Structure 1
Amino acid sequence: MSHLSDNSAEKLIERPPIIVIMGHIDHGKSSLLDYIRKSKIVEGEAGSITQHLGAYEVVLPPKQKKAGTASGNDNSNSGDCRKITFLDTPGHAAFSAMRSRGAQVADLAILVVSAEDGVKPQTLEALSAITSAKLPYVVAITKIDKPNANIERVKQDLAANHVFLEGYGGSVPFTPVSSKSGAGIDELLEILLLVAEISELKADPDAGASGVVIESSTDNRHGCSATLVIRNGTIHVGDVLVVDRQATPVRALFNHLLHRISKATFSAPVRVSGCTSSLATGSVFHAYPNKKSAEATLVDQSPRLPVVSQASDRISSRSVVTKSILPVVLKADVSGSLEALSAEILKQSNDAIEVQIVQSGIGPVSENDLRAVSVDTEPLIIGFNVKTEKPSQTYAEQKLMKVYSFSVIYDAVDLVQAEIERRRPREEVEEVVGSLKVLKIFSRQKDKQVIGGAVVSGKLTEGAQIRVIRHDNFITNGKISELQAQKIRVKEVGVGSQCGLMVEAKHSIAPNDIIEAFVLSSK
């Protein structure tokens, strides 16, 4: 699976694999990666995993050579420590574009399936991304230490979806694992390295770095930053990146542990800060030693990977529509979260209300964001994993605006759904709750009439709104001001009962008329 072009064969050496972990939400992807990181990285350096795509590098002990094996032209240097780069993708349905992006960047994949739950919707969606990218993959059956774990059922579920494991009629490698005890994890890592070795991953360490932007963010301290995965070559501080026909210098470089470094080579995930502008996720980057050589190649810039579009590409501009508009300001910590949240929020539009994201971006909620919607009616202002700047808070208080902050994507979506329900147009609907056949008219004085009748359906209550029907034609509306049963005043009478009632109505009521009692409700 080569991603190189025109590299001399003698310069190519084996490179570490880039592996994406995919699967259904809560099937143990992050727990599996956490265990690997904590056991293979120095204690205390492994941080928590967030909702956006993370890239991490782990180091494994040297491969033990078998006795009598000749070294020959083996570029892998089995006496050296072995590295693997892992990409962790969210399992939430909203993050499908990020899973696809991870699959495009990776060399091979781990499909995580819970031994408790078996195959679920995001399992199939992840499998589709893996197969579409033509990635070799390994199945990790997780949570094998749980009471309801059933590995055989998982094999059956996978076979029903055309995934045939080794020993179960197919050739897909698999390993049962526990992220609690660590059982099976070493075997999983060895299988991954074996599959990578078969794939013959090669790269040129002397070439200028190239790879993919997998995440970008903006903050006051570092400005525009981006997470890159290097596919080939070496990147240095001072290099100039060309991304989407724009050049930006590499002012600072950090490894996956956020330690400052001077250079990094293929397969490594790195963080670049001080970019001149936000880099689009999914874009291909190329590194050049200086600005002159970077600018000379701008016309030959490779296109962005087609697997994902920026959230801003899909955010509709204000348009003239007949629907009611729910204006939304959306700010997020990283582009992947902005992308996923934008897509989910826009999905909430319906026939009555259209959601329009009128202002969005990466970074804290600013005063400019609020000014952009100051003329809108009840704008919804959402910050996802970001802070609201102090001037923004003051401005929001002055304008009676409320800024909502969330760290879970579906909490933000729930807010949008609640606002749509609150703002949707209401329709007054009449519901007939009872009817009475008029048997006799006792008296009539101005608009008040005393009548007798029999309840033929439902019930009639004192104070109810009514309408009078004669020969299927509407006569008048009115109100029941008093009810009596057996000469005793009552609050209601039910079907089969005879009663007397005082009705307030503009038109005269006659025997055999039908009086329908109804209630109005908003729907």
Structure 2
Amino acid sequence: MSDTDGKKPLGLRGGPRSGNVKQSFSHGRTKNVVVETKRKRVVVPKPGAGNAAKPGSTPGAGAPSGSGKRPAGISDAEMDRRLKAVQAAKAREAEEAARREAEDKARAEERERRRAEAEAKEREQKEAEERARARAEEEERKKREAEVQRQAAAAPVPPKEDQPVRGKAAPARKPERDNRDDRNSRGKGRDDGRRSGKLTLNQALGGEGGRQKSMAAMKRKQERARQKAMGGPVEREKVVRDVQLPEAIVVSELANRMAERVADVVKSLMNMGMMVTQNQSIDADTAELIIEEFGHKVTRVSDADVEDVIKEVEEDEADLKSRPPVITIMGHVDHGKTSLLDAIRETKVTAGEAGGITQHIGAYQVETKDGAVLSFLDTPGHAAFTSMRSRGAQVTDVVVLVVAADDAVMPQTIEAINHAKAAEVPMIVAINKCDKPDANPDKVRTDLLQHEVIVEKLSGDVQDVEVSAITGKGLDELLEAIALQAEILELKANPDRAAMGAVIEAQLDVGRGPVATVLVQTGTLKQGDIFVVGEQWGKVRALVNDQGDRVKAAGPSVPVEVLGLNGTPEAGDVLNVVDTEAQAREIAEYREQAAKDKRAAAGAATTLDQLLAKAKADENVAELPILVKADVQGSAEAIVQAMEKIGNDEVRVRVLHYGVGAITETDVGLAEASGAPVIGFNVRANASARNSANQKGVEIRYYSVIYDLVDDVKAAASGLLSDEIRETFIGYAEIKEVFKVSNVGKVAGCLVTEGVARRSAGVRLLRDNVVIHEGTLKTLKRFKDEVPEVQSGQECGMAFENYDDIRPADVIEIFERESVERSL
């Protein structure tokens, strides 16, 4: 064949076919490319698998029509089965598509039906509301018209003024229409506001959500409509208030002081761009803007102004009444202060104190034979209770200085004299133990002269009385002297004002909570009074007098135990009665914050150089950490002060924590973390604390006498001291000759000139009385034998450990060291 016959050119069956493809590139460039497509040759076997193809047969002749080409090795039956499976799958897909389409259609119809039902229900509800609203408005209109007609009938007007009145009464419906228009406009605005926020289902369906007004809202609306019909709404007069504004204030408190709604204040702040809640604090400048916006007046106050409510006021002489004197008994340990008070009270207080010494400040009232009432404060005399004695002198009117006639003036006696002079209170000297054979009252009077205390017997102005707590001698004279001194002082106080007093002692009672012994100084403290004392506040739950009886009130100079505090105050704090709990809480919080700021400022004032110097100084100081828990605040402070005095440059006692009350599990945990013992003074550990201490190995020591506590801590601190090393010189030896010995080195031939030379002793090599070497002996021989020691006047051989520079005429100094325990 030729190309002109219109047939394809000769070639292999299924050969490559050529064509043009247009390729696109960036920047609009294109290119035509000639490509060839190659066909894959597929070999189909003839019918009858495995048989060779017959000559002249057509490939695939045995295959079913329409089957096309199939892979090699597939029989006709297999091909038919596969085709049927494909057709069945297509039929199932068609059925599934039809079923899904029917379900979607049914769901769409159901949605349409529900939407239509919801719309119908919404329309019905709206129509019912409209009908009810229309009925209410019609009834209200009829009531107003009847009211207007009744008023017009009751008060007829002149004919010439009839027209203006009718002109006012005629448009009675207009306010209602205006009200309805206003309501509709407000409703639209509210609806727009709701739609601008979260979209609900009812809103999406076109309804208002079926929200019904409350009865209160309906009443408010009717009241507004009635006021408008009667001549317009009557607005309340704005009350302008003076708002006290501190440096920071909570939003709710600001609204309360302005008597405004909290929501309005929050809204005003949000309009200013501050997203706050009612429980957040704002600064004074922002609060001042809010106050001015609401039309009130601002009075700026500082935090310290909260205490203005308890400032002392001038007392009117007409209100003052006589009060009992407060007498403080002072003196040295074991001079008989408490025994003297026992004799006056005819009680046995000393037996109740551990070790027979007073460790708390006791407050008692005593009535004399003449009917005079005296308030006594019994202070401890031990040196550790100096601060407690100083507090006793601050609240007292008269000081009774007790001095033992057989012991004269002692250190604590001098302290008591100084406290009395510092407090500028009169003093009465009671010379006790005059019943003893070795008593010498005149020596006491003479010793007091050295401290500028001149008694009346020596032509002075200080009263002195010789007494005996055992026999009762001189007690009446002592009470007379006290009454005379009180009469001279003319002590007065106003019992009808808010009470003020001083805390003599405070403790944490297990059953009663924090308890404070308070001496009322002015006013009357009643049950139910709200008070603030130091950093604590409370409400008087109960008052207990010195006899243990509950009382309703306590006047001036009366000591009572006060229950109802929220915490344990410090001994010496001042108690003031205030009007409200809010004032008491505010004052207590201010004082607590001020105390924290003061401590923080004291810590911040320390420079880095000071810290480094302190750290360097503390490097070589051993510390004994302890935890102290006591029954009352005064005892805890006295123990801490005593602990601070224990120690020297090498060791000291460090009180990690001290407090009032029982030993708790928290105290045990702190002691375990710091490796410290827990010291309990007149307190015990609770059950959980004891179990925790046993598990963690924390030592708890109990004491009831302060002497024993101080002595034990001092002994424990002494154990931290390093032992003192003492040297004892036991001999001298002079080197006569130096020999070289194999396997030993240089050996000095010596003559022991003084004392004894021992193998175990230390030695120093002296050359021209200068120490050249200090060490130990490697060998000490007498002739050829190793000996433990060599006596004076004998010759021996010595060799030093690791040292060979020895010469004739050198002197060897022999000494022994011993360690000696030290104590504070």
The answer to whether the 8 Å contact 1:248/1:275 transfers is yes
**Counterparts of 1:6 and 1:104, CA distance in 2:** 21
Which residue does the alignment assign to 2:141? none
Is 1:197 the counterpart of 2:487 in the alignment? yes
Rate the CA distance shift 1:217–1:451 in 2: closer, same or farther, 3 A. same
Q: How does 1:296-335 map to 2 (within 5 A)?
A: 321-322=618-619, 323-335=621-633
Q: How does 1:284-363 map to 2 (within 5 A)?
A: 284-288=574-578, 291=581, 321-322=618-619, 323-363=621-661
Match of 2:517 among 227, 230, 255: 227
Shift of 1:335: 0.6
Which residue does the alignment assign to 2:369? 61
Shift of 1:373: 3.4
Q: Which moved more, 1:286-295 or 1:337-346?
A: 286-295
For residues 349-394 of structure 1, the C-alpha deviation after alignment (integer angstroms, 9 at most, x for no partner) is: 4323343322211011211012123232x31321111112222222
Which residue does the alignment assign to 1:122? 412
Match of 1:455 among 748, 753, 761: 753
Match of 2:810 among 507, 513, 523: 513
SS in 2 for 1:374: helix
Match of 1:25 among 327, 330, 333: 333
Which residue does the alignment assign to 2:436? 146
Q: Which moved more, 1:174-183 or 1:419-428?
A: 419-428
SS in 1 for 2:456: coil
The answer to whether the 8 Å contact 2:536/2:565 transfers is no
Q: How many residues align?
A: 484
For residues 58-98 of structure 1, the C-alpha deviation after alignment (integer angstroms, 9 at most, x for no partner) is: 11122xxxxxxxxxxxxxxxxxx221111111111111111
Is 1:84 the counterpart of 2:382 in the alignment? no
Question: Per residue, is there more strand in 1 or in 2?
Answer: 1
For residues 436-481 of structure 1, the C-alpha deviation after alignment (integer angstroms, 9 at most, x for no partner) is: 222355784533847441233x543342222333343524622376
Is 1:500 the counterpart of 2:808 in the alignment? no
**Counterparts of 1:383 and 1:297, CA distance in 2:** 33
Q: Which moved more, 1:148-157 or 1:399-408?
A: 399-408
SS in 2 for 1:52: coil
Match of 1:394 among 686, 691, 698: 691
Rate the CA distance shift 1:459–1:337 in 2: closer, same or farther, 3 A. farther
The answer to whether the 8 Å contact 1:227/1:271 transfers is yes
Which residue does the alignment assign to 1:101? 391
Q: Which amino acid aligns with 1:396?
A: A
Q: Which moved more, 1:357-366 or 1:431-440?
A: 431-440
**Counterparts of 1:403 and 1:296, CA distance in 2:** 39
Which residue does the alignment assign to 1:69? none
Shift of 1:205: 2.6
The answer to whether the 8 Å contact 2:629/2:662 transfers is yes
**Counterparts of 1:442 and 1:44, CA distance in 2:** 85
Rate the CA distance shift 1:504–1:297 in 2: closer, same or farther, 3 A. closer
SS in 2 for 1:373: helix
**Counterparts of 1:396 and 1:295, CA distance in 2:** 37
Rate the CA distance shift 1:53–1:493 in 2: closer, same or farther, 3 A. farther
**Counterparts of 2:350 and 2:813, CA distance in 1:** 75
**Counterparts of 1:505 and 1:473, CA distance in 2:** 16
The answer to whether the 8 Å contact 2:535/2:569 transfers is no
Match of 2:473 among 183, 189, 193: 183
Match of 2:667 among 355, 369, 374: 369
**Counterparts of 1:131 and 1:9, CA distance in 2:** 28
**Counterparts of 2:503 and 2:667, CA distance in 1:** 26
Q: Which moved more, 1:417-426 or 1:151-160?
A: 417-426
Which residue does the alignment assign to 1:474? 772
**Counterparts of 1:445 and 1:220, CA distance in 2:** 83
Unmatched 5+ stretches in structure 1: 63-80, 305-309
**Counterparts of 2:743 and 2:443, CA distance in 1:** 79
The answer to whether the 8 Å contact 1:461/1:480 transfers is no
Is 1:280 the counterpart of 2:570 in the alignment? yes
Higher relative contact order (CA 8 A, sep 6+): 1
Rate the CA distance shift 1:44–1:281 in 2: closer, same or farther, 3 A. closer
**Counterparts of 1:271 and 1:15, CA distance in 2:** 19
Q: Which amino acid aligns with 2:344?
A: I
TM-score, normalization by structure 1: 0.83
- Structure number with bigger Rg: 2
The answer to whether the 8 Å contact 1:239/1:290 transfers is no
Shift of 1:185: 1.0
Shift of 1:100: 1.0
For residues 210-269 of structure 1, the C-alpha deviation after alignment (integer angstroms, 9 at most, x for no partner) is: 210011011321111110011122222211222126431111211112222222222111
Rate the CA distance shift 1:179–1:427 in 2: closer, same or farther, 3 A. closer
Q: Which moved more, 1:229-238 or 1:430-439?
A: 430-439
The answer to whether the 8 Å contact 1:443/1:451 transfers is no
SS in 1 for 2:458: coil
SS in 1 for 2:389: helix
Rate the CA distance shift 1:90–1:459 in 2: closer, same or farther, 3 A. farther
TM-score, normalization by structure 2: 0.54
Q: Which moved more, 1:112-121 or 1:344-353?
A: 344-353
The answer to whether the 8 Å contact 1:94/1:341 transfers is yes
Shift of 1:134: 0.6
Which residue does the alignment assign to 1:413? 710
**Counterparts of 1:259 and 1:484, CA distance in 2:** 91
Shift of 1:295: 6.4
Q: Which amino acid aligns with 2:794?
A: Q
Shift of 1:483: 7.1
SS in 2 for 1:225: strand
Q: How does 1:219-258 map to 2 (within 5 A)?
A: 219-244=509-534, 246-258=536-548
Q: Which moved more, 1:351-360 or 1:190-199?
A: 351-360
The answer to whether the 8 Å contact 2:733/2:750 transfers is no
Q: Which moved more, 1:185-194 or 1:365-374?
A: 365-374
The answer to whether the 8 Å contact 2:625/2:676 transfers is yes
The answer to whether the 8 Å contact 1:465/1:477 transfers is yes
**Counterparts of 1:158 and 1:112, CA distance in 2:** 12
Which residue does the alignment assign to 2:47? none
Unmatched 5+ stretches in structure 2: 1-311
Identity %: 37
**Counterparts of 2:418 and 2:818, CA distance in 1:** 47
Q: Which amino acid aligns with 1:203?
A: A
Which residue does the alignment assign to 2:721? 424
For residues 399-439 of structure 1, the C-alpha deviation after alignment (integer angstroms, 9 at most, x for no partner) is: 22211221222322223322322223557665544322223
Which residue does the alignment assign to 1:268? 558
Question: Per residue, is there more helix in 1 or in 2?
Answer: 2
Rate the CA distance shift 1:484–1:296 in 2: closer, same or farther, 3 A. closer
Is 1:171 the counterpart of 2:469 in the alignment? no
**Counterparts of 1:23 and 1:483, CA distance in 2:** 71
**Counterparts of 1:45 and 1:522, CA distance in 2:** 46
Rate the CA distance shift 1:15–1:441 in 2: closer, same or farther, 3 A. same
